[in-house]
Amino acid sequence: MSNHLKFYIDGAFVDPLVPATLDVINPATEEAYTQISVGTAADVERAVAAARAAFPAFAKVPQAERLALLKRILEIYNERYEDIARAVSEEMGAPLSFARAAQAWAGQVHLEATIKALEDFVFEYPRGSTRIVLEPIGVVGMITPWNWPLNQIVCKVAPAIATGCTMVLKPSEIAPISGIVFAEIMAAAGVPKGVFNMVNGTGPDVGQVIAAHPGVDMVSFTGSTRAGIIVAKSAADTVKRVAQELGGKSANIILGDADLEAAVTAGVGGCFGNSGQSCDAPTRMFVPADRHAEALEIARAAAETHKVGDPLAEDTVLGPLVSQLQFDKVQRLIKAGIDEGATLVSGGLGRPDGLNRGYYAKPTVFGNVQHEMTISREEIFGPVLSILPYGTEAEAIEKANDTVYGLAAYIASGDIGHARAVARELRAGTVNINYPDWDTHAPFGGYKQSGNGREYADWGIHDFLETKGIVGHGE
């Protein structure tokens, strides 16, 4: 029996206190394929009450038992892997191959990384005659986005389990079904009642209520900077900890000593992956001015290899954008690029040829982009790449840093020493040299308006802990 119309509270799937539903839209068809229940403050209240009641006992569970629980969650996750991939594909339009290889995989590998980190983690140690004790912060409210649903759910839930925290999760109401599957995994894994709770609903009716609730000790939020500001303001009255991973407008500096064809081709792929719906996507590509024309031709050819279409088709590379709202935003910003005089290299307005329904956008490349243009400043969150020519390396670094964001940055170079030197100049939480593999043990988070706090492995574990000094404890 489907749990789509239920919440998970105090160890059981339950009905909402006030029945209300929301359609879940398949972005490939623009049609509703199921419904979820949406919660109210009353549902949040009982979820928080369950988490608070469970916290004292769970905080005392030995590290070895929490580790065993995480391993059991991973075991059940792997059993439900295909269900997760199919849920993500249907709810957000990800090609099924990508949902398996990246979306469902992300949750799996973050569980593995947290398990590895917890095996080696030290929760208390002496410093002179003081005993340093790292303790779970308490009840954590978790608000997660639609673009990488399992990645963000696991990056919050796993460190909460690792540290002995209890939690209330609100997945995105746009892509909520994978979150329901995850709740089923938690139930099957035998997570103690009240430790993990999930309430579906909208940001104003559930997310902000969680953030403001005095019984919540910490909020971990991933989403837009606009929404993050609202969450932070909601949390401020109770002076709770707020960890946020927000927007980005990541620079990709292709240095003069790079292999231009390889670097531009990889940069296009990095920008377009997940239909451009990744907060750390390399959306601003800086290329040497004397090779700008060559870079545009390479980018044009690369863009043409990204076939857009049915998420279930084997040859599909990019699926639709997640919603009508997102499609309209991307179209508005593509139009801004055209109107402001950037060179349209490929793509443009409207759907790709042959697609008359679904929120499909054309993979779009702009050249001759000026630093002040809208497409160089605003986060687009679609398959749109801006290529900016630069005269000197110092100019590229200055413009790369001249943004309100600071989530990620990218460097392509044939000289690793050169790349390392430039990396130190960039104001971003993660700097990627020559398009490395995803490192789930590296810290992930941003500078400036890209947020605060860090996720992944032991970095995430630290964020869920309070530090206590017992002075005079002795050796």
Q: Which residues are catalytic?
A: 245, 279
Residues in Cβ contact with 135 at an 8 Å cutoff, skipping those fewer than 6 apart? 59, 123, 164, 465, 466, 467, 468
Other CB atoms within 10 Å distance of the CB of residue 424: 7
The SS3 call for residue 46 is: helix
Cβ 302 vs Cβ 264: under 8 Å: yes
The strand pairing partners of 285, in sequence order, are 252, 387
Measured distance between the N- and C-terminal CA atoms of the chain, rounded to whole angstroms: 56
What is the residue whose two structure tokens read 């100049």? 425
CA quadruple 192, 193, 197, 198: dihedral, nearest 10: 100
Tokens describing residue 271: 């920008």
Both tokens of residue 428? Answer: 């971003």
How many contiguous H segments (helices) and E segments (strands) does the chain have?
16, 20
Here the tokens at position 92 are 């957000």
Please give the structure tokens belonging to residue 314: 């084997």
Integer Cα distance of 374 and 337 in angstroms: 7
What single-letter DSSP state applies at residue 318? B
Please say whether the beta carbons of 202 and 171 come within 8 A. Answer: no
- For residue 378, give the 3-state DSSP assignment: coil
Strand pairing category for 251-254 and 218-222: unpaired
User: Which is nearest to 199 in space by CA: 168, 230, 172?
Assistant: 168
> Are the beta carbons of 4 and 36 closer than 8 angstroms?
yes
Which residue do the tokens 């042959």 mark? 354
User: How far is the C-alpha of 238 from the C-alpha of 289, rounded, in Å?
Assistant: 51
Neighbouring residues of 26: CB distance < 8 A, sequence distance ≥ 6: 32, 33, 90, 91, 93
Q: Rg (Cα) of the chain, in Å, rounded?
A: 23
